[in-house]
Structure 1
Amino acid sequence: MIIPLPDTTASAVSKTLVRIRDEAGAVALGRVLTLIIATGIGREEDAISAANDASREHPMRIIVVATNGADAESRLDAEIRVGGDAGASEVIILRAHGATATDQRGLVTGLLLPDAPVVTWWPEECPSLVRQTPLGSLAQRRITDSASSDSPLDALRRVAGGYQPGDTDFAWTRLTLWRAQLAAALDQPPFEPITRVEVAGAEDSPSTVLLAAWLSTRLDVPVEVTVSGEHPSTGIHRVVLHRESGPITLDRSEPGIATLTQPGQPVHEIALPRRPLRECLAEELRRLDPDDAFGDVILSGFGALGASAH
Structure 2
Amino acid sequence: MDLDTVRTFVAAADAGQFQEAAAELAVTQQAVSKRIAVLERGLGVRLFTRTPRGAELTIDGQAFLPHARELLRVAERAAASVHTGRRPLRVDIIASRGAASGLMRGFHQAHPEIDLDVLMLFDIETAVAAIRSGAIDASFRAVAAPGRPLPEDIASVRVLDEPLQLLTGPAHALASARSVTVAQIVGHRIWMPGIVPGTEWAAYYDDLVAAFGLTIEATGPNFGSDALLDTVADTPALATFMSERTRLVWPADHGLRRIPVTGPTPVYPHSLLWHRDNPHPALATLRAHLAATAAGHHDAGTWMPDWVIPR
- TM-score band w.r.t. shorter chain: 0.3 to 0.5
- Ranked by relative contact order (alpha carbons within 8 Å, sequence separation 6 or more), the top structure is 2
**Larger strand percent:** 1
How high is the TM-score relative to the length of structure 1?
0.32
